[in-house]
């Protein structure tokens, strides 16, 4: 998985150098995809099918490929942070996870521009190269830097309203909010203790699968914001065990505020 991520990363780095020449198309109102995404996905698919013939795939661009081996499935986002990439911002990643018997087993998130490989395997810890990762030790919310993702153009109006209320509840409560535009890296940064927490709603399985393994193995807590299944709704809150309930409280506060306003 690391070799596949590195190979895809080399392709992305080349395309990033000539980003103005890429063909870009739209999958939705603000949902861009380029040939860089497709090329990287192709490299990952070819590399992993060769290494593990028969495993299934869930990929952002190509979709689902059923494997003959029903217990193993790769979940792939060849380029997380496409909008950053297309705007020449060096903050984008390759995200690859392996799900075994319906459970997330392994995750790799590769920050191509900074050449950082974050990886984790259930029971083996989370790592940045050969440094073992641990979520931040901070316990006070007012000292915490918390990341999030904003709903984008084309998302339902209520999603934007919801987000605005969560920001209203969160900004005065913590030291700072960050919005970098790659959910996979946001989760990797929580695992590495660079962010004290991260929340976002409505993400896709390939945005979060690898990052979830990273955060768990780094000792963090991940829950679905409204109590559902994270991989179904893609709405998640990740933080250390002390900050998690404090952030959750602020998000609940936002929901109550929203109900009152309605």
The binding site consists of 60, 77, 79-80, 207
Residue 12 or 144 with smaller CB distance to ligand 2AM: 12
44 binds, among ligand 2AM, Ca ion, none (CB under 5 to 8 A by kind): none
15 binds ligand 2AM (CB under 6 A): no
Residues 58-97 that bind ligand 2AM (CB under 6 A): 77, 80-83
User: Which residue's structure tokens are 């499935």?
Assistant: 73
Contact residues for 229 (Cβ-Cβ < 8 A; gap 6+): none
236 binds, among ligand 2AM, Ca ion, none (CB under 5 to 8 A by kind): none
Question: Which range touches ligand 2AM (CB under 6 A), out of 103-111, 179-187, 211-219, 223-231?
Answer: 179-187
- Token pair for 127: 């790592």
Q: How far apart, in whole angstroms, are the C-alpha atoms of residue 177 and residue 197?
A: 10
Q: How far apart, in whole angstroms, are the C-alpha atoms of residue 81 and residue 72?
A: 26
We find the least distance from the C-beta atom of residue 8 to ligand 2AM, in angstroms, to be 13
207 binds Ca ion (CB under 5 A): yes
Question: Which residue among 183, 191, 212, 247 contacts ligand 2AM (CB under 6 A)?
Answer: 183
Q: How far apart, in whole angstroms, are the C-alpha atoms of residue 251 and residue 38?
A: 36
149 binds ligand 2AM (CB under 6 A): yes
Contact residues for 101 (Cβ-Cβ < 8 A; gap 6+): 71
Contact residues for 104 (Cβ-Cβ < 8 A; gap 6+): 97, 98, 122, 209, 212, 213
Q: By CB under 6 A, name the binding residues for ligand 2AM.
A: 30-31, 77, 80-83, 149, 152, 181-183, 200, 203, 207
């Amino acid at each position: 998985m690391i070799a596949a991520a590195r190979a895809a990363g080399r392709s992305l780095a080349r395309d990033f150098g000539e980003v103005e020449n890429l063909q870009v198309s739209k999958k939705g109102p603000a949902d861009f995809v380029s040939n860089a995404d497709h090329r990287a996905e192709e490299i990952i698919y070819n590399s992993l099918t060769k290494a593990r013939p028969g495993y299934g795939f869930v990929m952002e661009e190509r979709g689902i490929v059923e494997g003959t081996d029903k217990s193993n499935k790769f979940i792939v986002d060849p380029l997380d942070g496409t909008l950053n990439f297309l705007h020449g911002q060096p903050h984008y990643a390759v995200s690859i996870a392996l799900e075994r018997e319906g459970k997330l087993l392994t995750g790799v998130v590769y920050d191509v521009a900074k050449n950082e490989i974050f990886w984790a395997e259930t029971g083996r810890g989370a790592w940045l190269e050969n440094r073992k990762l641990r979520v931040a030790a901070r316990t006070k919310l007012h000292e915490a830097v918390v990341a999030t993702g904003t709903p984008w153009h084309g998302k339902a109006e209520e999603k934007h309203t919801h987000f605005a209320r969560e920001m209203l509840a969160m900004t005065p409560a913590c030291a700072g909010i960050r919005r970098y535009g790659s959910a996979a890296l946001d989760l990797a940064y929580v695992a590495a203790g660079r962010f004290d927490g991260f929340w976002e709603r409505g993400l896709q399985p390939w945005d979060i699968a690898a990052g979830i393994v990273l955060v768990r193995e780094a000792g963090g807590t991940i829950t679905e914001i409204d109590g559902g299944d994270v991989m179904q709704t893609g709405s998640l809150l990740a933080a250390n065990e002390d900050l998690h309930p404090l952030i959750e409280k602020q998000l609940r506060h936002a929901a109550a505020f929203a109900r009152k306003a309605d």
